[in-house]
């Protein structure tokens, strides 16, 4: 059932490819890149964008090591320090090359400061239906009834430049937060795609898994929700077209929240999912909307 044809690199004419371009430097496994100002949340780069860039370097390092493995199957990223747009480096260390998968570590640094520590399991991803799943695609409004999230809300100085390069349309039923009326379900859902027509390959999946606003918006306003640790699993290549997306809270306590993000393609296949632990501080904990009774 798997497709063993080699992964073909798309031409670097799309925004995501230009922004994740990596340049081998001196020693094997070391790369230079530029943290792109177009994939940011406020002044700092999107975590999924950094993960996708590291995955690109990992693919090059595995090719150099003689491995045919290119596609991340599992990736975990620990965010140590948020870099700024500008020059940065990636150091890749191949931990093990196996028959069906290889395991690799990567570290993103800027100005000598370690920013992201990543470990990836890399193999070959195919378009493949699930044998068994409980991950039923989220029931969302048709894409034409959903609302595109802009890079800047009217009256706000906070720019999420990523939203100019990712087409995220949220179901109005999950957008109560925009009108001061969060539902308390702790869930955002809708459709997501790349607006410049770039195919959604494994690198794009890594980006899209960490692009939604925090689902904590749906229970109440909070400060900054910085990711401590993110784990992504890629399960199938998607068929062409926008993906359904759902981001939801698990549990909030002692200043930390876990959130899960799931992506489904037009066939209903769960193509990728991620979980993250983030730090959070609410402006007013007593004003949070409680979850609906089950």
Nearer to a second copy, 12 or 223 (CB): 223
Residue burial 227-246, b: 16+ Cβ < 10 Å; e: rest? beebbbbbbbbbeeebbbbb
Q: Burial level of 135, CB count in 10 A (0-12/13-18/19+)?
A: middle
Give the whole-angstrom CA distance, residue 275 versus residue 116: 17
Residue 147 near a second copy by CB under 8 A: no
Residue pair 258/214 in contact by the 8 Å Cβ criterion: no
Among the listed residues 154, 156, 253, 284, the single contact to a second copy using CB under 8 A: 253
Among the listed residues 181, 228, 266, 287, the single contact to a second copy using CB under 8 A: 228
Q: In the complex, what is the shortest distance from the CB of residue 48 to a second copy, in angstroms, rounded to a whole number?
A: 16
DSSP 113: E
Among the listed residues 20, 40, 89, 103, the single contact to a second copy using CB under 8 A: 103
Nearer to a second copy, 6 or 11 (CB): 6
Residue 131 near a second copy by CB under 8 A: yes
Residue pair 165/36 in contact by the 8 Å Cβ criterion: no
Residue pair 34/27 in contact by the 8 Å Cβ criterion: no
Residue 164 near a second copy by CB under 8 A: no
**Site stretch for a second copy (CB under 8 A), options 31-39, 46-54, 198-206, 224-232:** 224-232
Q: In the complex, what is the shortest distance from the CB of residue 207 to a second copy, in angstroms, rounded to a whole number?
A: 20
Which H/E stretch holds residue 131?
none
Among the listed residues 7, 78, 141, 151, the single contact to a second copy using CB under 8 A: 78
**Site stretch for a second copy (CB under 8 A), options 59-67, 120-128, 146-154, 202-210:** 120-128
Which H/E stretch holds residue 15?
helix 15-19
Give the whole-angstrom CA distance, residue 211 versus residue 45: 11
Among the listed residues 21, 147, 178, 277, the single contact to a second copy using CB under 8 A: 277
Residue 232 sits at φ, ψ, to 5 deg, of -120, 140
Biggest CA-to-CA distance, the chain: 58
Which H/E stretch holds residue 230?
strand 227-234
Q: In the complex, what is the shortest distance from the CB of residue 133 to a second copy, in angstroms, rounded to a whole number?
A: 4
Neighbouring C-beta atoms of residue 276, cutoff 10 Å: 25
Q: In the complex, what is the shortest distance from the CB of residue 219 to a second copy, in angstroms, rounded to a whole number?
A: 6
Q: Which of residues 56-75 bind a second copy (CB under 8 A)?
A: 73-74
Binding site for a second copy (CB under 8 A): 1-2, 73-74, 76, 78, 80-81, 95-96, 100-101, 103, 105, 114, 117, 119, 121, 125-126, 128-136, 186, 219, 228-229, 231, 233, 235-236, 248-256, 258, 270, 273, 275, 277, 279, 282, 285, 288, 290-291, 294
């Amino acid at each position: 059932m798997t497709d063993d044809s080699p992964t073909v690199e798309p031409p670097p004419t799309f925004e995501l490819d230009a922004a994740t371009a990596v340049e081998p430097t001196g020693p094997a496994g070391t790369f230079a890149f530029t943290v792109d100002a177009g994939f940011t949340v406020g002044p700092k780069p999107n975590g999924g964008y950094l993960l996708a860039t590291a995955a690109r370097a990992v693919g090059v390092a595995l090719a150099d090591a003689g491995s045919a493995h290119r596609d991340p199957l599992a990736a975990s990223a620990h965010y140590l320090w948020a870099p700024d747009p500008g020059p940065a480096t990636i150091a890749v260390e191949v931990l093990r090359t196996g028959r069906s998968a290889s395991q690799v570590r990567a570290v993103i640094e800027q100005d000598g400061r370690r920013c992201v520590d990543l470990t990836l399991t890399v193999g070959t991803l195919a378009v493949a239906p699930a044998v068994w799943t409980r991950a039923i695609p989220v029931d969302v409004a048709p894409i034409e009834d959903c609302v595109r999230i802009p890079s800047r809300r009217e009256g706000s100085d906070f720019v999420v430049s990523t939203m100019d390069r990712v087409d995220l349309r949220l179901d109005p039923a999950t957008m109560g937060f925009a009108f001061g009326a969060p539902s308390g379900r702790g869930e955002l859902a809708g459709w997501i795609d790349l607006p410049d027509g770039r195919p959604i390959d494994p690198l794009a999946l890594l980006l899209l898994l960490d692009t939604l606003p925090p689902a904590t918006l749906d229970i109440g306003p909070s400060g900054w929700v910085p990711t401590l640790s993110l784990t992504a699993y890629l399960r199938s290549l998607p068929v062409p077209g926008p993906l359904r997306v759902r981001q939801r809270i698990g549990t909030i306590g002692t200043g930390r929240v876990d959130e899960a993000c799931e992506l489904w393609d037009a066939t209903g296949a769960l193509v990728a999912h991620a979980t993250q632990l983030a730090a959070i501080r609410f402006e007013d904990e007593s004003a949070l909307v409680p979850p609906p009774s089950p």
